[in-house]
Structure 1
Amino acid sequence: MNILKTIQCCAFLLVGIAMSTAQTRTNPSNQPTELGKVSWYRDYDQALKSSKESGKPVLILFQEVPGCSTCQNYGKDVLSNPLMTEVIENEFVPLAIYNNKGGKDRVILEKYTESAWNNPVVNIVNDKGDKMVKRVAGNYTAQGLYTAMEEALVIYKKEVPAYMKLLGEELHVSSASQQDRYYSMYCFWTGEKELGSQLGVLNTEAGFMKGYEVVKVTYDNTVTSNEQLDQFASRRDMKLIGLDKSYYASSKDEDYYLKHSDYKYLPLSELQRTKINSALGMKNNAIQFLSPKQYKRYKGLRTAKHKAILFDKDFQSSWNSLALN
């Protein structure tokens, strides 16, 4: 009987430990809108301990929960971006502090002299709790948060992973800096893979115009220029061609190399599609452009029973539908 009681006690203890561990992080599928899709620590000391063990800086979100429209939009627009979520959860230790609550939240709020009932503020600190970069306040854009995260990783002497750099490139571009250019060549599959490799190129599209196979190149003119693209194309026997009404995209030829790989079963951002297709065509490392969750899914495709082509679907929707863990 004593042995039975001992076993029961141990079982209850293990269950308690498991529940305690599970509750140290929030659940993105069942949490306030203001927290986005990030799984956050809610205890400051636990976050610092995790930082010390993992060698990652702590990203502290001071957020009003429930909050105003600014707080809600920050959760929906910034903290729910799939790649932004991946960066926060994998390159940092995420900690959420409610700025409109008492108890432990209020203690940490006062420790960092943050205002109560305020719009979202982000501080990035080391494992001792010391601030590393200028706090993100009054800037509620994904670009503002990304800039602080990248700066913190550099200070922490952590490598900025390729998938994070792609996120930064996508966030940097604006409608004013995004431009198109058209090149003709003997094979648009080759054109896509080579032009897609260039820094500043955001997207390539296979098509036809004036009887030629062409590639439409969308690029950020703050990163590269017409002259640089023209010179690169010319060295590869591609010719600049002006747009006319005869142009039409050839969807069946789009991202040819990606389409003939297992990467087609992954939700991908537009820039990820461009860079992965180019890397595959040039026999370079394409895996580097995947986030940790995308990589996990990619590895699991070998044994997956059901696969759906997702690379050309809406990125946010396909990501959410898979509920990537």
Structure 2
Amino acid sequence: MRLSLLLPALLLFCGCSQPARSNSPEELGKVRWLRDFETGLERASLEDKPVFLLFQEVPGCATCRNYGNEVLSHPLIVEAIETLFVPVAIFNNKGGKDAEVLRYYNEPSWNNPVVRIVDYGRLDLIPRVSGNYSQLGVVQAMVFALERRSKPIPVYLQLLYEELLARQQGLETTTLSMYCFWTGEKMLGQLDGVIATEAGFMDGREVVQVAYNPKTVSFKEIVEAGQQARCADRVYAHNDAQKAEAIAMLGQGKAGARSSFRPGHEPKYYLSRTPYRFVPMFPLQAARANALIGQGKSPEGVLSPRQAELAKQMKAHPEGKWENVIGKDMIAAWAWEGNR
């Protein structure tokens, strides 16, 4: 049974009442948009939600199409827009009501994508997002808007923001050796600031490669956490600074330069032993889920409601021939054709 067969039922569960995705132009991605601003404001007032207002050129240039395919098609960005906001799309190259909204906000016509998040009184909650066509730009805008409204930020959205921001700021990577890389990945994957983990082999040893945000957690803190969990027998440094610090901490014989890395055969071992391996996740989410399962805890706290419902449906149909999507791109793995 394919993931796509469950998605229509999943959308009914989530209460989505917007137009079918198959009717949406490429530039609008996979979000189910309202097309009337006044209707959106009314719904926002009734549901006490901000309005996610997209000004988009349809049909549009390559920038507009890429924005639809790469930003507005990310499953968790779509879920956040559809469930935490009221999504309204305004075509910036049309007349009528679209042109009226453009004039109200003094937005240019025939322009690249612009996002405004407004309250149901039409006032901007945050500065307009213009010239930033990244996933981070949209996720950051949603987080800031929710904070402005004193609304809770779901864990899945906070984690996605953390990962995207860390990748923009610049990740660092180090490799630690231990007696069991399954245990090592479980222990290191729970650390704040760790963005991604991968178990494998280096220099004939079991190791875990750790990608982390140095603005949140230091190399020293990662090694110390590894030592406390008996998961830092040796450090393979990825730069001279790491090597010098590793020698100071562990001694000359337990610190060296990295060599070729070979991934293990069972990525995210604990996650891979459960039906959650069939649920598309981004790297930080998968690292946290794997760590939680390895500790005997449920990973549902780091999943979105739609991901959790997907896992529930898969558990209810164990006969299905599901695909293991650990490590796969979320947009590709989500099988959007099932939403049409």
Alpha-carbon distance in structure 2 between the residues aligned to 1:171 and 1:118 = 25
Equivalent residue for 1:123, pick from 91, 116, 122: 116
Aligned to 1:25: 18
Equivalent residue for 2:84, pick from 83, 91, 94: 91
The CA deviation string for residues 2-22 of structure 1, in whole angstroms up to 9 with x for no partner, is xxxxxxxxxxxxxxxxxxxx9
The answer on whether the counterparts of 2:74 and 2:330 sit within 8 Å (CA) in structure 1 is no
3-state SS of paired residue (1:251): coil
The answer on whether the counterparts of 1:88 and 1:94 sit within 8 Å (CA) in structure 2 is yes
Aligned to 2:221: 228
Aligned to 2:250: none
Aligned to 1:311: 325
* TM-superposed deviation, 1:24: 7.2
Alpha-carbon distance in structure 2 between the residues aligned to 1:102 and 1:24 = 26
The one-letter code of the counterpart of 1:95 is V
Aligned Cα RMSD in Å? 2.3
The answer on whether the counterparts of 1:266 and 1:309 sit within 8 Å (CA) in structure 2 is no
More displaced 10-residue stretch of structure 1: 190-199 or 201-210: 201-210
Aligned to 2:335: 320
The one-letter code of the counterpart of 2:22 is S
The answer on whether the counterparts of 1:124 and 1:135 sit within 8 Å (CA) in structure 2 is yes
Q: Find out whether 1:155 has 2:151 as its counterpart.
A: no
More displaced 10-residue stretch of structure 1: 49-58 or 156-165: 49-58
What does 1:98-117 align with in structure 2 at a 5 Å threshold?
98-117=91-110
Alpha-carbon distance in structure 2 between the residues aligned to 1:324 and 1:301 = 17
Give the TM-score, by structure 1 length.
0.86
The change in CA–CA distance for 1:324 and 1:275 in structure 2 (over 3 A counts) is farther
What does 1:159-308 align with in structure 2 at a 5 Å threshold?
159-174=152-167, 177-239=170-232, 240-242=234-236, 243-245=257-259, 247-252=261-266, 254-304=267-317, 305-308=319-322
The one-letter code of the counterpart of 1:241 is V
* TM-superposed deviation, 1:135: 0.8
The change in CA–CA distance for 1:24 and 1:91 in structure 2 (over 3 A counts) is closer
Alpha-carbon distance in structure 2 between the residues aligned to 1:179 and 1:206 = 17
The answer on whether the counterparts of 1:184 and 1:238 sit within 8 Å (CA) in structure 2 is yes
Q: Which has the larger radius of gyration?
A: 1
Give the TM-score, by structure 2 length.
0.82
Aligned to 2:136: 143
Alpha-carbon distance in structure 1 between the residues aligned to 2:183 and 2:16 = 51
Residues paired across the two proteins, number: 303
The answer on whether the counterparts of 2:119 and 2:125 sit within 8 Å (CA) in structure 1 is yes
Aligned to 1:73: 66
* TM-superposed deviation, 1:211: 4.7
The one-letter code of the counterpart of 1:219 is Y
Aligned to 2:55: 62
The change in CA–CA distance for 1:299 and 1:146 in structure 2 (over 3 A counts) is same
Structure 2 portions without partners, runs of 5+:
1-14, 237-256
